[in-house]
A and B are shown apart, each in its own frame.
Chain A
Amino acid sequence: KAGVTQTPRYLIKTRGQQVTLSCSPISGHRSVSWYQQTPGQGLQFLFEYFSETQRNKGNFPGRFSGRQFSNSRSEMNVSTLELGDSALYLCASSKEGGTYEQYFGPGTRLTVT
């Protein structure tokens, strides 16, 4: 079974721009969760999508948004980028969501200059 894939793997943007990250879950998985990983804060939950609906949302500003498509692929968007948004963005998929059996992707390294 192919694992979770994320594209692009690396991204450099400037302040004020917006960015879209993509995540393809493991086949058959309907839940996709997004996390922001930084050295100082560790893993912080952004949101979870299940069957095209946002089921959970973390404590992030409205500049962070996401969506899920009918094939379970998910995208997250960050608008008006700030320097502090530089991080590794991880996507995780699971069959039903709300479980610990999450399978993580390799992440997208976003650098904001």
Chain B
Amino acid sequence: AQRVTQPEKLLSVFKGAPVELKCNYSYSGSPELFWYVQYSRQRLQLLLRHISRESIKGFTADLNKGETSFHLKKPFAQEEDSAMYYCALKPNSGNTPLVFGKGTRLSVIA
């Protein structure tokens, strides 16, 4: 079965410090991986997807198939990055739903 693990429930960093939100997955095939973000009092929204290899709001994430990881990174954290971050996996088999991790709350301290 597919599984997404986000080992940290809460991550606190100082403003300007690098941040890395960890995500590990379990899936036998080649999945699509995503990061979703939920800012305070806002809707859950897509942050980035691994296939686009883009940087959004300074965040990047690289899919490491050997380590089955998809960590989210940003070199310099900003206060507005404080939010709940969810890693999600889409199995490459038909119309199967997204599988979400339990989320990591990022708190950026001024």
Contacts and interface: CB of A to CB of B under 8 A. Distances in A.
- Do these two chains really belong together in a complex? yes
Contacts of A105: 43
B95 A56 contact: yes
A71 to B, nearest CB: 21
B100 A42 contact: yes
Contact of B97 (A4, A42, A48, A101): A48
Interface residues of A, number: 27
Given A104-B43, A104-B44, A42 B99 contact: no
A35 B98 CA distance: 10
B96 interface: yes
A100 B95 contact: no
B35 to A, nearest CB: 11
A101 B46 contact: yes
B100 A43 contact: yes
Interface of A: 3-4, 33, 35, 40-45, 48, 50, 55-56, 58, 90, 92, 97-102, 104-107
